[in-house]
Structure formats: structure tokens, C-alpha cells
Structure 1
Amino acid sequence: MLTTSTPVTGDAIKQAIENRDGRTLASFYADHAVTRIIDRNNPPSRPKEIRGRGAIASFWDDICSRMMTHHVDITLADGDRMAFSQACTYPDGAKVFCIALLRLEDGMIAEQTVVQAWDE
């Protein structure tokens, strides 16, 4: 079980994503956090939901274990809201792009919505 928590900043999330550091990414989430993913397979009416910091840590471990590059283009923060865009490339050249919207509680991610698209 994760016990370390780290308040999230734009610079910190950029560094963790670009370095494929799943443990640090997981440390940004509140224990009760929810991540919702909207994409071709998970439409807005039925987004994929990942509940709890442990499950979100597993999600990030999977993403960070993939042989791909990650680049965070933009991070914006306003009070208890944050957003960032992320471009990823697999070794074969296939690309993924996502935008994430975050709601923070006490500096920790409480809710995240990810909208993503990928090459097919």
C-alpha cells in the first residue's frame, strides 16, 4: 500500500510523466481519488473509472512500463484545478494524445478526467 503523498505541481507532474515514474505519479493522488478515461473504447456516457489510489498506481505502473516516450506540452493551474496535455509516441511511430483535467483537494488529485485519442 502506498503511504507517501506529495502535493502535485505542474512541474512535478511533467517531470514524473516524462521520466515514466509511476511511483511519483501515484504519490500525487488522494486515497479516495477517481480517474475517468474517455476515449474510443470508453465513451462519455460510460467512461472507464479507476477508483482509489492503489488502483490508480497500478494504472500508472502499466502506462510507465510501456516502451514509449511521453512529453507534457502544457500545464495550467488555477486554485484547486489543474490541466495538462500529453503527447506520447511508441517505438513504431504510433502516437497518443491526451488532455487531463484535475480537481485538487489539499494539493492532492481527488478527481481526474482524461480524454485521449490514438493512431489506429
Structure 2
Amino acid sequence: MLTETKPVTGAAIKHAIENRDGRMLSSFYADDALVRVIDRNNPPSKPREVRGRAAITTFWDDICSRAMTHRVDTSITEDDRMAFTQSCAYPDGTKVFCIATIELKDGRIAEQTVVQAWDE
């Protein structure tokens, strides 16, 4: 089943994330997009880099397949830049918090940087 391509907006990102729709999320990215992840295991000097829509689709499919809830709390848009915060919880009560910045090019996500922290 193909997901209809929708404009990249804060509302569309919120809908896709909260509904764990990896296909919709991956449709927001340019073919050559880059997602950079910074966390305890991937420090700023060596962030995880996910390049290209195929790899980003795999990334989102993995996240969306996990038994957890996702809530987008805040989103901000200015010209071709966006930012949002996301709160997640696993069934065992473990919480994750994420903040992401996005740069759009020709209406698609060209670069995204994600900083996340988990309960330990």
C-alpha cells in the first residue's frame, strides 16, 4: 500500500509520528536526505548518520514497529526550517525525550538532526 505524499508540516509530522506511520514519515524526505542522531551512544563528535530515503525508511520502520507511544509536544516552523519535541514511553515505563531540527529543500526534508535521551 502506498502512502499519499503530503506536504511536510508540523501537523503532518505529528500525525505520522503519533500514529507510528513510518511510510508517511519516510515520504517527507528527499531522496538524498540525511538524518543525524545524537545521543548517549552517538556523541556529537560521532553522530549516527542515516543517509538516503531507503535507509531513512528502514530507520522509521524500526522505530514505528516498537511497542511504545509517541507524542509530539511542540512544533515550530519558520521559512524552510522546522523543529519539534517528542515524548515517548515504552510499556515498562521507560521514557525517551527527543528534540529535532529539520531543514527543508523543495518542500522535502533535506537534513534532520535528532538529539535524544532515555531514562536509565
Q: Same fold (TM over 0.5)?
A: yes
* Structure 2 equivalent of residue 106 of structure 1: 106
Residue 4 (structure 1) shift = 6.4
Residues 30-88 of structure 1 show CA distances to partners (whole Å, capped at 9, x for unaligned) of 00000000000000000000000010000000000000000000010000000000000
Aligned to 2:40, the other structure's residue is in SS state: coil
Residue 6 (structure 1) shift = 3.4
CA distance in 2: counterparts of 1:5 and 1:33, whole angstroms: 16
The reply to whether residue 46 of structure 1 matches residue 56 of structure 2 is no
TM-score, L = length of structure 1: 0.95
Contact 2:74-2:85 at 8 Å conserved across structures: yes
CA distance in 2: counterparts of 1:67 and 1:50, whole angstroms: 22
Contact 2:67-2:91 at 8 Å conserved across structures: yes
CA 1:3–1:90 in 2, change beyond 3 Å: closer, same or farther? closer
CA distance in 2: counterparts of 1:61 and 1:51, whole angstroms: 15
The reply to whether residue 12 of structure 1 matches residue 8 of structure 2 is no
* Structure 1 equivalent of residue 69 of structure 2: 69
RMSD (CA atoms): 1.4
Gaps of 5+ in 1: none
Moved over 3 A (4+): 2-6
Residue 12 (structure 1) shift = 0.2
Q: How does 1:80-99 map to 2 (within 5 A)?
A: 80-99=80-99
The reply to whether residue 119 of structure 1 matches residue 119 of structure 2 is yes
Gaps of 5+ in 2: none
